Amino acid sequence: MAVTEAPGKTAYRVKANSVESCSCQNGCNCQFQGIPNEGKCEFIIAYDVTDGHVGDVSLDGVRFVVAAKYPNAIHEGNGHVALWVDDKATDEQVGALASVLMGKLGGMPWEALAGTITRLDGPIRAAIEIASAGARSAVRVAGAIDVQFTPFLNPITGEENAVHITYPNGGFFWDDGAIATTSTMRAEHGDLKFEWPGKFAAAAEVNWTNQK
């Protein structure tokens, strides 16, 4: 089958490891009914690109973090979002990445998410640490972001419980997430501040494109 892209838009493909945490209870009701457990949605998602390009611009190795506050479910809008991009990325890479994340080039999930954002801070250049390690994943941006996963433990044996959420027909953010909880989950950037330890966490591989 021939590969096509939206007319007049630069083609892109991105594969990345994601480290996601949010304000929902373990399991995250948004995964099932689309409504956050706490009424509002506050989340941090970090991405480590393993294979990606926008047109001729390679995104291999680029790291970035999205932190967001929504007063209700994401699809209801009014999101305040902050974006950090690895300070090792070139200006060309940052521009190419921003064009994807702002939905300018089409493709899911960012084409849909762009319309829910009322306020965007960034891209902010910073040193980003990401450990993509399943139920022991971690993210750190000094002075702004701190996330540490911890696995679920069997209450009888003390052994780790391996838990996954899968979408056989494809999910919005990812298709197969290794689920954990957080010992630390904190964001602080101006008036974008929240802290939700002991809540939902997921590590997954994501794949985005505007090609068909």
**pLDDT tens-digit map of 146-163:** 999 999 998 899 899 999
* Residues in CB range of 64: below 8 A, 6 or more apart: 46, 47, 83, 84, 85, 86, 97, 101, 123, 128
Pseudo-torsion of CA 172, 174, 179, 180, nearest 10°? -90
Domain count within the chain: 1
Segment 93-147, tens digit of pLDDT: 999 999 999 999 999 999 999 999 999 999 999 999 999 999 999 999 999 999 9
51 has a pLDDT exceeding 90: yes
Please count the residues of the chain. Answer: 212
Q: Is residue 162 part of a domain?
A: yes
Q: Is residue 62 part of a domain?
A: yes
Burial (CB < 10 A; 0-12, 13-18, 19+), residue 180, is buried
Q: Is residue 1 part of a domain?
A: no
Q: Is residue 121 part of a domain?
A: yes
pLDDT of residue 90: 97
88 has a pLDDT exceeding 60: yes
Q: Is residue 179 part of a domain?
A: yes
Q: Is residue 171 part of a domain?
A: yes
Q: Is residue 5 part of a domain?
A: no
Q: What is the rounded average pLDDT of the residues 62-70?
A: 98
The CA distance from 100 to 30, in Å, is 24
Closest Cα to residue 42, out of 172, 199, 176? Answer: 199
Q: Is residue 108 part of a domain?
A: yes
Residue 97, domain extent: 15-209
Residue that has been written with the tokens 């993210």 in this structure: 139
pLDDT of residue 33: 85
pLDDT of residue 212: 79
Percent of the chain predicted with pLDDT > 70: 96
